Structure 1
Amino acid sequence: MVLVQAGSTEMVEKFRFYDTEQRAMIDWLSTRSPDVWHAVSVYLNFDFAEDVFEWILTRPECDLATAAAYFWRCEPSDMLEYLAKEPEKWREDDDYLAVVKLVDRVKAGFYSRSEILYVGHDLRPGEEMSSWILAEARMLRDIARDAGEGNLPWTLPESLVPPFGHRPAIVSAEENPETSLDVQRLLEALGTRFGLSKSKRVETVEVQKPRWANPLNWFKSLGTKKH
């Protein structure tokens, strides 16, 4: 595994005024690979890790699967249905603005790395791909058709619709939220609790701990985006 030098002094310093728990997570992630960012991001609580999400999603090395997982967890059809009626409201709400910025990055080709397999989340028994996300995608297309794309702040980037990617995220046991007590403690400090069903977990492949890895310490239920 190759260490990605994502945590330049300038990037990490930008977050110096954020709360201690988020800064601890950002510092830890800044010396990890995009695969680790992905494995950790699916466990982050939306209500208490907004700055961590921003840090991950604005890194050029961030994998498209990580951006997609965030997007679909935002329940975008509810969001876009509301914005079809109140198209300017996104300017007044940080949650809406975060999705607008994410969609803009996706459509601009910002997420050029697309290696991690993404089939969605909340898989039902026997599913190999999330039927819920496919239904959500159809709803987004319908909303855009009915409202007119020019009347909406964003429309569905088709590149976020699964499946895409070709391999599981590659992490060491010391970096895996399901096996590392250190990572679980970091997550717990940000409002996450362990006890997820298998359908919510990210598929990972564990590798021998890289010599550069230096795990810290920390998992509350997955946060749901507030509208």
Structure 2
Amino acid sequence: MSCGEGEVSAIMTIFDWLTEVLRRTEPSGPGRLPSDERIAFYRDYVHNSVVLAAAAQPEDPLPGLSWQYFREDVRHEARAARIAMRDGTFGTFFDTIRLLPPIAIVRLMAARSVYFPTPENDGAVDDLLAYLDAATVRLMRQRRNAVLAQQAAEAKRVESEAPARAREEALWAEYRACPFARLSTEPAEFLRWIKLQTPDTWNVVVDRWDYNGIGREDVIAWILDQPDCDLATAAQFFFIAAMDLGDSEPETLSPLYRNSWELMARVGHNWQRGHYRRNDLRLSSVVPSEIALYDEIVARREAEGRPFPWRVPGPGERRFGVREPDSDYLYEHGHLWIGFSTWKRGREARGCGVDFPRCCNASPAD
């Protein structure tokens, strides 16, 4: 694809782009601009490489010192060109790159190489800096040196932590195989155990509950009947159950799902009458769209003349706590575990790991 054919496909890798840049770059002197064709190519490269980098890590787009410098340069170029950035979103950031004048694109193209040092881009750095004035070159090289120093420090830190990571990985393998790490979830034993636990541990169990499991319904029903059950724990079950079952009538459901519907109804009635006296924990496992779906179901059922026989607080009235549960246990896929940190603390006291795996005749967990 030639650079005059419009925006380059976003699926091209950064390496492919950089290879093409190196092939096309012809250094010029300070104050002189590359051809219009090359400017268009640079603009596409800068824009698409930034979009791809942000998409690759959506939970924390463009992190680190290199991207900090680059974002500062984009904002500086926008101010210099008197381009008002709409807001602080990444969409605005991407759009601004499309609007910048040619000399700004040349500087950003240089920054995209200078601030992201690799053995492969040293030649491109020198070529691209040849277009820029001495003050800009000096600033960019200072920033490159700062990034290199940070990378060296990070590499040293990773190297120093390698033995500890290796020990932790070995412990993790031992933990997953250790018979003392897993607790029984046989219905009767599970119920006896849950009655001795804290409301935070109840939350952990409900949060990862297997809604299709059979035989352990008494456990979750007991939790959700307790006044000390945190409101977020009850709401977690309530909203998840309502998403699947709220539009149904209990008499139309199979026994397993009818039990879940009836338990959802019990939670709804408990919530309505203020049964749950704790409200410390965050409702962290139900997203707003799932809660909104419940509200839509409520409105639809009321419009159809079949309202729920309970009424929980509406969207503007729901309040939950702010902290995460603090528990020594994990529950996942129907299996109950002692938490890794808790297991480590008790490992030496039990004499574990002296001659693993013969120390306890452990075998890998299923």
- The answer for unaligned runs of 5 or more in structure 2 is 1-184, 346-364
Match of 2:218 among 30, 41, 51: 51
- For structure 1, the residue ranges without an aligned partner over 5 or more in a row are 1-19, 122-129, 178-183, 195-205, 210-218, 221-227
Paired amino acid for 2:289: W
The partner residue of 2:304 within 147, 154, 163 is 147
Match of 1:136 in 2: 293
CA contact (8 A) 2:246 2:294 kept: no
Q: Is the 8 A contact 2:269 2:310 kept in 1?
A: no
Shift of 1:79: 2.3
> Which residue does the alignment assign to 1:103?
268
Whole-angstrom distance in 2 between the partners of 1:111 and 1:105: 7
* CA 167–58 in structure 1, closer or farther in 2 if over 3 Å, else same: same
Paired residues of 1:119 and 1:162 also in contact (CA < 8 A): no
Written as runs of structure 1 = structure 2, the 5 A alignment for 1:53-202 is 53-74=220-241, 76-83=242-249, 93-121=258-286, 130-148=287-305, 151-155=306-310, 157-158=312-313, 164-171=320-327, 175-177=328-330, 191-192=334-335
Distance 1:162 1:169, change over 3 A: farther
TM-score (norm 1): 0.55
For the aligned residue pairs, the C-alpha RMSD in angstroms reads: 3.5
Deviation at 1:94, TM superposition (A): 2.2
Deviation at 1:56, TM superposition (A): 0.6
Alpha-carbon separation, structure 1, partners of 2:260 and 2:246: 12
How many aligned residue pairs are there? 153
Change in 2 beyond 3 A, CA 1:94/1:24: same
SS in 2 for 1:169: coil
CA contact (8 A) 2:243 2:290 kept: no
TM-score by length of 2: 0.36
Shift of 1:25: 1.6
Q: Is the 8 A contact 2:230 2:279 kept in 1?
A: yes
Instruction: Provide the C-alpha distance between the structure 2 equivalents of 1:73 and 1:140, rounded to a whole number of angstroms.
Output: 13
CA distance in 2, matches of 1:100, 1:26: 21
Aligned counterparts of 1:30 and 1:170: Cα–Cα separation in 2: 17
Q: CA deviation at 1:67?
A: 0.4
Identical positions, percent = 23
